[in-house]
Structure 1
Amino acid sequence: MSISLKQMRYALAVEQHKHFGRAALSSFVTQPALSQQITLLEDQLGFAIFERMGKSVIPTPQGKPFLDEVKTIVGQSKALEERFTKKQHQMPMRLSMALIPTIAPYLLPSLLPGLSSKFAPVQFSVSEQTTEQLVDAVKKGDCDFGILATDPGDDRLFSLPLFADPFVLAVAPKTSLTSPIDLAVLDREHMLLLSDGHCLRDQTMDACQLGNDLKHKTFAATSLSTIVELVANEQGMTLLPAISLKREAIGGRVKTLSLKQPGAGRTVSMIWRKSSPLQDLFNQIAAVTTNVGKQLLAEDAGLLIK
């Protein structure tokens, strides 16, 4: 049987009070219970820690160096306990987060400073992953939480909606189209989409009811920035999430129009494992992310042609 912290604490109480009864009282146990633990401890060590002198006790020559070591161990244990029983967001820790490519470049520049300010002891490591990769990483524990725009559809994961991100139509600056635009009247052959594997491709088709006629388009870009460059050079049109406008529509290189279709857009959400012990911390991170996202959307609204 190994020596327990409880036994060590009892021994220090006896040394401090020089009396088993007062030591038991200070330790909130009965005297017989404390005496039994001290006796067991001495049996394990093979020597007497205390010299019993009637009602008083003093450390033995072998007991003194043992108690000195015990003081160090108990002190370290107390320091460790105090350090890691603080509120979770105050603990020094490293959290890994992942975002999908159509959110990361627009949200991260404002989000990371906000998180670092709010959760100073936490170090955030960031990666950019596709939706499929992100969900898999969170499930496996390779990532602590993720920010995406698709329901993961897994009962092992908790998904918390953060903010709505509406779609807008991006067209060449000289186009005569005006807001709100009805997607049903557009020439769909000129609609530019992201390549397969990007959830935004499917979301724009579903939310805007673009139908199956666009699913097999021969051209598909791997980034929104590539598509916007083509739109700016009058090579087509595309649907952009509103959160991207501050970066993608800067300088008026494209004209952005609101959509006539109500509710066309996506919902940005944060996911984490239901089994994680950091539920409260994740909810606080989600609240910060929601505020940052809504502020960015408010700023981007000024870039939208009414």
Structure 2
Amino acid sequence: MTLAITLRQLGFLVAVADELNFSRAAEACYVTQPTMSAGIKELEARLGVVLIERTKRSVLLTPLGHEIVLRARALLLDAGEIEKLARSGANPEEGDLRLGAIPTIGPFLIPKALPVIRRAFPKLRLYLREAMTEHLLEKLHAGRLDLVLFAQPFDASGLETLHLFDDGYHLAAQVGTLDQRPVKGTELQGVRLMLLEKGHCLQRHALKAFPDLDIEQDDTFAASSLATLISMVSEGLGITLLPDLSIDAGMLAGQDVAITPLPDACPRHVTLAWRPSTTRRKLFVEIGEILQATREALRPLADSARAS
């Protein structure tokens, strides 16, 4: 016997599970709340079970509802991949591409790479989303992103990854407080660094840049962005580690900040990730090559700026 469950009904169920609110779930699905409620009731009637407990104050999934939502997410993801396969059958370089990037990489790399990507793939519509690594990878697994630009070490199990380049660090302080000579990691033992707030992978990576040392974060200040962090350093409020990519992209221009190399720091590994089931792997690799070339092009520009 055919139950005639539809993908639309499953999409409604997943939206309610995400929002735990019928009004917000309906908005997320671009339907009215009565349409959403009717779709859920029809699904429950088809299955002969209760999936959602409704009260005046809350919306909760039943235990069976939780299990079915997990299966529904997988089905919707597979259905989305089928649609993409059909659309990209003639040309995988056309259509929408949803790229996620972390804020300590994306702003320095993607704007410079985007013109090249557009020339190479003129029929590709690129949508950029910026967030923390954990959220980006969750969206990638769930099918809400196609490609993610982030930094390792970070758990990317279940995904295919492409290493783009290593990104080292410089020590940054207010002008006049640093020698220009390279600094060894051992010289930072016991020094408290101003870093990004917890949740940023750069904060974790910076603390682990010297695995054998006990590098500490200044608990009196944590920045929400690299721009804020650099402004604090410029005012002489502390020192920090800055990734080479941000420096080479010109982030210190006009700032009262001096830098010195940290040659023995462990770099972060800038990486692209996608789902192994994708039909656009070749396209993703080509985009990765463009990002690599963009990074290399920044090095001579930065060297020239520092020399002048």
SS in 1 for 2:168: strand
2:147 to 138, 145, 148: 145
Higher Cα radius of gyration: 1
Shift of 1:165: 1.2
SS in 1 for 2:259: strand
Instruction: Give the letter aligned to residue 110 of structure 1.
Output: K
* Matches of 1:210 and 1:253, distance apart in 2: 31
The within-5 A match list for 1:126-145 is: 126-145=128-147
The within-5 A match list for 1:113-124 is: 113-124=115-126
TM-score, length-scaled by structure 2? 0.66
Q: CA RMSD in A?
A: 2.3
2:210 to 208, 211, 217: 208
Q: Conserved in 2, the CA contact under 8 Å of 1:139 and 1:273?
A: yes
Q: Conserved in 2, the CA contact under 8 Å of 1:193 and 1:220?
A: yes
The within-5 A match list for 1:36-51 is: none
Number of corresponding residues: 221
Are 2:302 and 1:300 equivalent residues in the alignment? yes
Instruction: Give the letter aligned to residue 261 of structure 2.
Output: S
Shift of 1:208: 2.6
Shift of 1:84: 5.7
Instruction: Give the letter aligned to residue 130 of structure 1.
Output: M
Shift of 1:122: 0.3
What residue number does 2:92 align with? Answer: 88
Instruction: Give the letter aligned to residue 254 of structure 2.
Output: G
Q: Conserved in 1, the CA contact under 8 Å of 2:99 and 2:145?
A: yes
Identity %: 28
Are 2:256 and 1:253 equivalent residues in the alignment? yes
Judged with a 3 Å threshold, the aligned counterparts in structure 2 of structure 1 residues 140 and 268 are, in CA distance, closer, same or farther, namely same
Judged with a 3 Å threshold, the aligned counterparts in structure 2 of structure 1 residues 266 and 237 are, in CA distance, closer, same or farther, namely same
What residue number does 1:243 align with? Answer: 245
Shift of 1:251: 3.0
Shift of 1:286: 0.8
SS in 1 for 2:194: coil
SS in 2 for 1:117: helix
* Matches of 2:111 and 2:105, distance apart in 1: 11
5+ residue gaps, structure 1? 1-81
Are 2:274 and 1:272 equivalent residues in the alignment? yes
Judged with a 3 Å threshold, the aligned counterparts in structure 2 of structure 1 residues 303 and 193 are, in CA distance, closer, same or farther, namely farther
Q: Conserved in 1, the CA contact under 8 Å of 2:188 and 2:215?
A: no
The within-5 A match list for 1:2-41 is: none
5+ residue gaps, structure 2? 1-85
